[in-house]
Structure 1
Amino acid sequence: MNAFPPERIVCLTEETVETLCLLGEEDRIVGVSGYAVRPKQVRKEKPRVAAFTSADIPKILALEPDLVLTFSDLQADIAATLLREGVAVMGYNQRDIAGILAMIRHLGAMVGQGRRAGFLADQYEQRLAEAAAKTEGRPRPCVYFEEWDEPMITAIGWVSELIGIAGGQEAFSEIAGKAKALDRIVTYEQVIAAAPDVILASWCGKKVRPEKIAARPGWDAIPAVRNGRIHEIKSPLILQPGPAALTDGLDAILAALSSRTIEA
């Protein structure tokens, strides 16, 4: 029978690692994703057992977890394999800010820290509300967010919402709610037509090249390119639907919207 609260947890994405650590429950974590970098010590202290769409199943099983935390349909096959091995799996699928806050509260409840998780989520909600209030009534620059470059994939739900909270208008907010990345592909021509004032980019796993973005055919007509307002936001800060996005991720967007210098 699986323990409750679970005593041996494997986290296959970064945001659940950070959440458990913020709740003071890092000792329950026995394995992590290779992408987990928050807090920094997890890379040294916890065995790495997975990438994102692949996992070392024998290594996970050897850790004897009583709970494995997964994220999205992209880890569905991993989850199914573990379930067939008799491992308890919780699959999260948060795609917006409300979902992130719900994940924090739910995970906290599962490890016996419901009250502390509720307090943490309430703090984030208050911080977001305060940030939004500071930008209310100001001109809202159009912002194109690029999650990937080939093909060009634009902002997912929580990123689009954070851009709005930071005082911007996300260029393709009408498709931000699409769960699948392939449903958020945009073309050169669509971005040119949107005429963003600011371009934010976060290419998971590789460094953003602002000069390559600026050199795309026809993009010299885009205000963000003409004015040198192309900024990288590191993927661990913004592409993980958890505490990082609501704190350092939001701060990075706020800094980019207030800056007028191109980043090399």
Structure 2
Amino acid sequence: MSLYPERIVCLTEEPTEVLYALGEQDRIVGISGFTVRPARARKEKPKVSAFLSAKIDRILDLKPDLAIGFSDIQADIAQALIKAGIEVWISNHRSIEGIRGYILRLGAMVGAAARAEHYLGEIDRQMDHIRARAAALPWRPRVYFEEWDEPRISAIRWVSELIELAGGQDIFPERAKASLAKDRILPDDSEIIARNPELILGSWCGKRFRPELVAARPGYPAISAVRMGHVYEIKSPIILQPGPAALTDGLSALHQAISRCIKLRDKD
């Protein structure tokens, strides 16, 4: 028997991305249907789960010795697998530091601790590059990040932290500290309008962000971001999964949007 898991089912995208980056993709026997990173994973691995549901019988047929998921939202899936005798690791990290630690822990679990440290070092260097560029910006725009539209849900903690790192100011930093989405629901639009963001970023998990619908909401024409046309989408696969994508492509996209907002405002 191996010291490390040899047949892993990834119930979310981030363990798949990390394991591929570490060269440990041969251990993966099943992935989430929402996986887009890396693109080759969708061609190479069977899709056995969504985020809220999973094909338990199909997973059991794959004879995994470990299933990896994320958050309390997957508790029912985890329970079903545990009852079937499968070892399960459900991470529940919500911050930049949590994502960094997750990469190291997962690397250690598959006997690739040194490679995980090297991989994290590469990510940290990319983050430091963006941090330095953000520090050179002339000012920091107020940013409203919308994770869902009905009801309105503001940024989760790692997104809020990445906005700050990228050079912006999250207008709801206090809500970002709440781990559950229900605690980040805005009762109405009055707070958003009152805090007057200069940049609105949307990433509606599972559906396309519609800037024109946001701009047409009652009261929104008075918001600086809407008046100036600074309402943009950040693709959900690069920002709403708590893995490497958020710290690399997600952070870069945030910085580009913030820099564009500043450049166009200063030009006017």
TM-score of the pair, normalised by structure 2: 0.94
TM-superposed deviation, 1:133: 2.3
Partner amino acid for 1:65? Answer: P
What displacement does 1:122 show?
2.3
* Residue equivalent to 2:114: 115
The within-5 A match list for 1:215-234 is 215-234=216-235
Aligned to 1:238: 239
How far does the alpha carbon of each residue in 1:176-224 deviate from its partner, in whole angstroms, 9 at most, with x for none?
Answer: 0111001001221010011000000000111111000000000001000
Equivalent residue number for residue 129 of structure 1: 128
Does structure 1 residue 147 correspond to structure 2 residue 140?
A: no
Matched, 1:27 2:37: no
Aligned 1:1-264 pairs, distance under 5 A? 3-136=2-135, 138-186=138-186, 187-260=188-261
1:59, distance to aligned residue in structure 2 (A): 0.2
RMSD over equivalenced CA pairs, Å: 1.2
Q: Displacement of 1:123 after TM fit?
A: 2.4
Report the Cα distance in structure 1 between the residues aligned to 2:204 and 2:57, rounded to whole angstroms.
Answer: 30
Q: Deviations over 1:25-56 (max 9, x none)?
A: 11110000000010111111111101101001
* Bigger shift: residues 79-88 or 132-141: 132-141
- Counterpart Cα distance in 2 of 1:141 and 1:222: 13
CA-CA distance at 1:130 after TM superposition: 2.9
Q: Distance in 2 between matches of 1:49 and 1:19?
A: 18
CA drift of 1:16 comes to: 0.6
Deviation at 1:141, TM superposition (A): 0.3
Amino acid in the other structure paired with 2:181: A
Q: Tell me if the contact between 2:130 and 2:252 (Cα under 8 Å) persists in the aligned partners.
A: no
**Partners of 2:134 and 2:255 within 8 A in 1:** no
SS in 1 for 2:247: helix
Q: Distance in 1 between matches of 2:14 and 2:148?
A: 20
Percent of residue pairs bearing the same amino acid type: 56
CA distance in 2: counterparts of 1:175 and 1:129, whole angstroms: 26
Deviation string 1:56-75 (CA, Å, 9 cap, x unpaired) is: 10000000000000100000
Question: Could you tell me how far apart the structure 1 residues matched to 2:39 and 2:135 are?
Answer: 35
Given that residues 100 and 120 in structure 2 are in contact (C-alpha distance below 8 angstroms), is that contact kept between their aligned partners in structure 1? yes
Taking the aligned partners of 2:213 and 2:207, their CA distance within structure 1 comes to: 13
Whole-Å separation in 2 of the counterparts to 1:130 and 1:206: 31
Of 77-86 and 141-150, more deviation after overlay is shown by 77-86
The AA in structure 2 aligned to 1:219 is Y
What TM-score comes out, normalization by structure 1 length?
0.96
Opposite residue 126 of structure 1, the aligned amino acid is R
Tell me the amino acid that sits aligned with residue 176 of structure 1.
A
Secondary structure at 2:89 match in 1:
strand
